Chains A and B, each alone.
Chain A
C-alpha cells in the first residue's frame, strides 16, 4: 500500500467521522448549515443558521464529538505504544492494568455514591496506581526478561483488580448502583459535557506529545532489550517514560468514557497496514484513525436505537469482524 497516502487516508477517516457525528442524530443538521456555522465562527461573523441548530452543534454535540475524537485517539495511541514496547501485536493499552485500575476506582466511587467528578478522578488515579504497582512489582524481581515479567505481573494484578470490581458489584445496591457500575464498565460518552474536556485534553495531549517526541527511540525499543541497549538506548528509563505517557493517556480517556475495549487493539493494526511500522508515521496515523473510528462508533451508539447502546459493546461488534477480515487479507504486511 502506498505509505505516503496512508496518513491522508487516516486524516480523511477523521474528517468523515467528524462530519457524520455533527450532522447525524435525533436532530439532523445539514452539511451546509454545519459548514456555515464553522466558517462564521472562524471569521467572527454572526451565523445565518437557526438558534436551535447552533445549540445542537456547539452545546449538545460539540463536547461529545470532541470527547469521542480525543478518547479514540488516546486509546489508539496508547495501544500503538504498548504494542511496540511489548513487541507484541496482540497487546492493548489495558495490558498493565490501566483499565482495570480505573474500573476499580470508578466502581468504588459509585459504591460510595460520590459525585461525577470524584468518580472520574478516582478512575484516573486508579489507572495510574495500578500501572505504577505493576511496574514496581515487575522490576523488583530484576528479571532477565523485564518485558515478559511486566506482562505477567500486569495479568496477575489485572485479575486481582477484576476481583475487586466483582466484589463491589456483588455488594452494590442492585437498583441504583449496579446499573451505574455496569453502564460505566461498558463505556459511554452520553453524559459528556464541556467541563469534561479539559481534564481529558490535558493528559491526552501531554502523553501523546511525549510519545511523539520519542518516536525514533520507540522504533529501536521494538528490538530485543539487549540489542536496543547496544544501540545506545537507555531502555529502562525509556520504558518508564513510555509506560507513564501511555498510562496517562489511557487513564484520562477511561475516566471520561469508561471502559471502551477494542480501539487500542484494532486501530494500531489498521494504522500499521496504512503507514508501516515506523512510529514517526504510525503514532499520528493511529491518533487520526482512532478518533475517526470512535466518532463513527459513538454516532452509531446514539442513533441506532431509541436508547443508547454502550460503546464497549459496539466496538466489539464492529471491531471483531473487521479485525478478522484484516487478519485474513493483509496479515502478511505486519507480521
Chain B
C-alpha cells in the first residue's frame, strides 16, 4: 500500500506554507522528514494524515483519495503519534492505549475484551506493562512517548506518522524509539517521522525528505542524500561530519 501526496499546496487558511510537494511512502519503508523550524514539516505531516485539507493537489491512500475515507476507515490505516504532551484528565495508561481501538468499534461501543488484550500486548511490547494502572499525567515524558506509540500500534494501522518522536526523550529512550521504528518497518508498517537530528534519520530511515521554506530541496536514500553539503544547504548553517574509521559509520554535528 502507498500513502502519497501529489503536487500539494499546503497551509492554514490563507497562509501557504508549502508548494508543489510530491511525497510517497510505501508500507515496509521508513521516511524521515528533515528541515529547519517553520519549514512546513508539521503542516505536511498533518496534510498527509488527512487532518488538514491541502489547498490544492491530492493525498492518496492505496487506490483512493484520502478525503474519500471516513474518519474511522482512515484511523484503521493511518496512525498519528503526536509530540508527547500532557492531557488535563488523569486517564490511566491503559485507557489511553485503549483509545487507539476507538476506530475499531462503532459510535456507541466501549472497548471489548479483545481490545483490552491488544492494548495489553502493546504495553508489553514497549516494556511499559507495569504502568498500566498509573495515571498518564504522572509518568515521565519518555514513558508518555512510548504510551502514544503503543496507542498508535493498537490502531493496527498500515502507516504510522510520528511528529518529532525523539524531541522530549533522553539519550537512552531516543535509541529505543529509533529501534522501534526499524522494528515497525520490518513488520510491514510504513513509517514517516519528522526530526531535527539528521543522525536519527541516518539511523532509522530508509529515505530522507528535505524541506526548506515549504520547498523540497532534496529526497533520496539516506546514505546518499544526507551529506555535509546538503545539510548545510538545508539548515543554512555549517555542519561537521565525524567518521569512525573502525566501522566507517558517520555522524553529523552542528558546526
Contacts and interface: CB of A to CB of B under 8 A. Distances in A.
Interface of A: 84, 87-89, 142, 144, 213-217, 219-220, 222-224, 226-227, 229-234, 272, 276-278, 280, 333-335
A278 B90 CA distance: 9
Interface in B67-100: 70-72, 74-76, 78-80, 82, 85, 87-92, 95, 99-100
B51 interface: yes
Given A89-B88, A277-B89, A232 B107 contact: no
7 contacts: A224-B82, A224-B85, A230-B78, A231-B75, A232-B72, A277-B89, A335-B90
A232 B109 contact: no
A213 B108 contact: yes
A227 B137 CA distance: 17
Contacts of A272: 89
B216 interface: no
Contact of A220 (B12, B79, B99, B135): B99
Given A215-B110, A230-B80, A231-B103, A222 B75 contact: no
Contact of A223 (B12, B92, B99, B137): B99
A50 B70 CA distance: 64
A222 B90 CA distance: 11
A222 B110 contact: no
Contact of B88 (A222, A231, A333): A222
A216 B105 contact: yes
Contacts of A222: 87-89, 91
Contacts of B102: 216-217, 220, 231-233
- The interface centre, meaning the residue of A215, A222, A272 with most chain B CB atoms within 10 A of its CB, is A222
A216 B109 contact: yes
A213 B72 CA distance: 18
A335 B137 CA distance: 8
B9 interface: no
B155 interface: yes
A251 to B, nearest CB: 24
A281 to B, nearest CB: 11
A84 B91 CA distance: 12
Contact of A230 (B13, B51, B88, B110): B51
A222 B111 CA distance: 17
A218 B142 CA distance: 26
Q: Which of B78, B90, B100 has the most CB of A within 10 A?
A: B90
Given A87-B88, A334-B89, A227 B76 contact: no
Q: Which of A87, A144, A231, A232 has the most CB of B within 10 A?
A: A232
Nearest to A280: B110
Contacts of A220: 99, 102
Contacts of B108: 213-214, 216
B75 A276 contact: no
A276 B71 contact: no
A293 B71 CA distance: 40
A288 B180 CA distance: 45
Nearest to B138: A332
